[in-house]
Chains A and B, each alone.
Chain A
Amino acid sequence: MNSAYAFIREQLQAMANGGLLPQPFEYVFVINALLCALLIGPLLGVLGSMVMIKRMAFFSQSIGNAAMTGVAIGVLIGESYTSPYLSMFGFCLLFALTLKYTQQRTTLANDTLIGVFLSISLAVGASLLLFVSAKINTHVMESVLFGSILAVDDTDMNVLLGVTLVCALIGLPLYNGMLLASLNPSLAHARGVAIRTVDYLFVLLVTLVTVACLKIVGAVLVEALLLIPAAAARNVTRSLSGLVTLAALIATFSCVVGILLPMQFHLPVPTGGAIVLVAALVFIVTTLIRATSSRFQGASV
């Protein structure tokens, strides 16, 4: 894949040098960042709309925060400081699957259980960070917390591409079953949906996407990018296809504009923050549209 990335970069740089594209396209890191944006936009749009419908926003937030503990473990066992994917995927998957397993065997409310797991994970992470703080500088933790899309390399892009493919192969054929299982488990069961399996697979997909997007938007803000585009789209749509399409477009738009805008205007804003702020602006606009448009006034949907 690396030669394919190199080919795309060369073509775009040549076009920028020839004046066909804006000047930032002359830089490799900008092209890398935009390629990632084009991958995660649709991914976050589709998955985010489902996270919203299934009311799992708090769950995805907890996965993002658990990734910090994953980073600390990665540094402790000697993984790369900048891309400790093995530990992040490993710990986050363990966290998410244990949480789901417990959820199915307790009568506790979801938010209570997630809160308990999140606290445990953060406590472990904070304790481990004391041990690893001597090994890393604050910029490593900053990039985990708030993203560092301009430092994305070919490995990060391969991880993102791999996760996108896994999501498409698992998520698309099971999309209806995953959604139906949360709307009415009995009806889903009557339709032949293996409820427990699709629930676990959905948790797996949310975890993979969350970890793969950490480099771009960071642990603190990754949940925002899953949720805000879907919430913004929900404001102005009345159908499922409208919701998913618009959420994907808003997520992609936010990523592209969030990367380019600070660069164009030399704003000292981290990319993760800029991307989420753009998404938030879109959310505010759609909220205003909903509040003022006669098409939506008085409607419950």
Chain B
Amino acid sequence: MSAEPILRGPAVAFDGVSLSLGGTQVLHDVSFRIPAGALHCLVGPNGGGKTSLVRTLLGQMPHTGHIHFEGSATPVGYVPQALDFDRTVPMTVNDVMALLGQRRPAFFGSGRRLRGRVAQALARTGVGSLGGQPFGSLSGGQRQRVLLAQALNPSPRLLILDEPTAGIDAPGIQLVEALVAELNACGVTVLWINHDLEQVRRVAQSVTVINRQVLYHGPARALGSDWGTPP
């Protein structure tokens, strides 16, 4: 299935971004630029500030410094690490997609137009048959695929992924990589938080390593095997 025509994504520039939470410096003077239409990975140790940087980018964190978009950033597709979701809540995959993709209350069901788009997005991530399944009954990998599908609707200009392949099996990882590459080829700017350095070298054009501050920023292929160690 081919991707929908997508307008070119923005360049994203972080300029001296700092963030303190409860007296702890989470980010210190972070500056780097993601070119328009790039597939850029963000790597670093646990607690290094990757998710905080993404939340800052989404406008959720009070920070100092500036974040500029060169070009329009909306719609933004965001794939969180997990949905903090009570698994016993009766909510189907289609309910979750309706919650995210329409204005009218999700308990009224999806409109016809949204139903078509949702079915297409779910099929693209390999979970087309799960629309009527309770979201809480899905495996971790299936949930990640649904979360990826919601980010495709509406077609994003900027796609932010927070470890989308964590807990996914090998075919799932291949599917995610192929889908992200396809979107990126259409011009979508991708920011991908990733722990797997092999995968980073395989899929990304550029990478930034952060541990509160920028340790390395440059081509992904030049990334060493340790955090922030170019070869």
Contacts and interface: CB of A to CB of B under 8 A. Distances in A.
Interface of A: 46, 49, 53, 55, 107, 172-173, 175-176, 179-180, 183-187, 189-191, 234, 237-245, 299-301
Nearest to A233: B90
A300 B87 contact: yes
B99 A190 contact: no
Contacts of A241: 95, 106-109
Nearest to A171: B105
A53 B84 CA distance: 12
A270 to B, nearest CB: 32
Interface string B35-54: 00000000000000000001
Contacts of B25: none
Interface in B85-117: 85-92, 94-95, 98-100, 102-109
Q: How large is the interface on B (under 10, 10 to 19, 20 to 34, 35 or more residues)?
A: 35 or more
A299 B135 CA distance: 12
Contacts of B22: 107
B90 A190 contact: no
Contacts of B59: 189
A301 B90 CA distance: 6
A186 B60 contact: yes
A124 B196 CA distance: 57
Nearest to A50: B107
Contacts of A190: 58, 76-78, 160
Most A CB contacts (10 A, CB to CB) among B86, B107, B135 go to: B107
A234 B89 CA distance: 7
Nearest to B150: A187
A158 B139 CA distance: 49
Given A189-B59, A190-B76, A241-B95, A299 B107 contact: no
B92 A239 contact: yes
B107 A240 contact: yes
A179 B100 CA distance: 10
Nearest to B89: A53
B55 interface: yes
Name which of A173, A189, A244, A301 has the most chain B CB atoms within 10 A of its CB.
Answer: A301
B80 interface: yes
A86 B98 CA distance: 38
A131 B5 CA distance: 72
Q: Which of B54, B90, B91, B105 has the most CB of A within 10 A?
A: B90
A17 to B, nearest CB: 40
Nearest to B136: A301
Nearest to A246: B90
Contact of A180 (B54, B76, B99, B107): B99
A176 B106 contact: yes
A301 B134 contact: yes
Task: Pick the most buried of B76, B78, B102, B109: most chain A CB atoms within 10 A of its CB.
Answer: B78
A186 B90 contact: no
Contacts of A245: 107
B229 interface: no
5 contacts: A49-B107, A53-B89, A179-B99, A240-B98, A300-B88
Contacts of B160: 190
B60 A185 contact: yes
A268 to B, nearest CB: 38
Nearest to A192: B74
A244 B104 CA distance: 14
Contacts of A49: 107
B90 A234 contact: yes
A200 B103 CA distance: 19
Nearest to B160: A190
Contact of A187 (B80, B108, B136): B80
